[in-house]
Amino acid sequence: MLWVDKYRPKTFDQFVIHKEIAENLKKLIATGDFPHTLFYGPPGAGKKTLVMALLRAVYGPGVEKIRVETKPWQIELPSRKLEVELTTLSSAHHLELNPSDVGGNDRYVVQEIIKDMARSRPLGADGSKGFKVLVLNEVDRLSKEAQQGLRRTMEKYSSACRLVMVCSNVSRVMEPLRSRCLCVRVAAPSEGQVMEVLAGVARKEALVLPPAFAARVVDYSARNLRRALLCLEVCRVQRYPFAEDQEPQRADWELYLAEVAANILDEQSPKQLYLVRGKLYELLANCIPPELILRTLTLELLKKMDDEIKLETVSHAALFEQRLQEGAKAIFHLEAFVAKTMSVVKNYMVSCGMA
């Protein structure tokens, strides 16, 4: 079992980070019910861990008996029958899914699943838990139509279904949807807290963790606790005992993006743009989020380019990140950013007489 799962807090009392949030949720559950809830915060902050602790507090250990299903949904529309496949995680008490996986059909899937859950409403022995919980991941990636449909449906079936939503960018969730939820901000842990968790895991695994190496892992993780634990475990497999000067092992896709950045700065031509486009396609095909590709590529470019053009590059990155969120095809905006960066670099080299 991976360390990130092995040492994940199971109950509210086990939380080392976000103790205040855990205590408040514990008090809320003690009342016997809870409203629709929206957890938001950066990746690796602990949102899903809090959600599972919330479900355990409500239903007990039964929520840990999870089954994975890829279920075909047949949805009757006025003009046609829609068939979609969606992978879900479910127990007797809850259902977890990522509706954005079905693209533009997300609004139909969300409404159909909530209706289906309402029809199979469980009856609690004391009548206090006569509802199921639907966990929706990445609600900030849902279309506006899906969010509008979700707003109406969650009101209609609130007695039979509670929604627990998770997202990274709360600004992309409609205000009417947010106003119907208890919004819980899960901030990224501080570097000191990440260091504390790493030291605790190393102690439980009987490892000697040099402070200098631990500091590099914390710096590499950028306050993403999941990333820090995964990095530490990879380094443990590759080399132990740890050395003071040991460098954290970067992910393959990060090394690949560093290579892409080097390609962009080495040559600015239509042929090179075509080759870079193929590499970006490969990253997207391997399920690397386009926003993460753009952000990481920008950071890699900034490490290697001259100071005079860094500001302009960051400005273009911000512009294309916004377009990436509003557009449909990610590759268009990623390629446009690469082409613009190549133009900036080429013009700078010509002005300096280096080309």
For residues 128 and 115, which has the higher predicted lDDT (pLDDT)?
Answer: 115
Token representation of residue 241:
């005992």
- Find the helix or strand (DSSP H, E) in which 165 lies: strand 161-167
Token representation of residue 92:
């007797």
Q: Rounded to whole angstroms, how far apart are CA atoms 101 and 191?
A: 33
In this structure, what are the phi and psi dihedrals at residue 300, rounded to the nearest 5 degrees?
A: -65, -40
Strand order in the sheet with 94-97: 67-76, 81-90, 94-97, 132-136, 161-167, 37-40, 182-185
Structure pTM?
A: 0.83
Going by C-alpha positions, the residue among 233, 272, 263, 239 that lies closest to residue 251 is 233
In tens, the pLDDT along 277-330 reads 999 999 998 888 888 899 999 999 998 888 888 899 999 999 998 888 776 788
Strands 161-167, 81-90: parallel, antiparallel or unpaired by DSSP?
unpaired
Residue 96: what residue type? E
In tens, the pLDDT along 68-82 reads 888 777 777 767 777
Q: In the predicted model, what is the mean pLDDT of residues 318-344?
A: 88
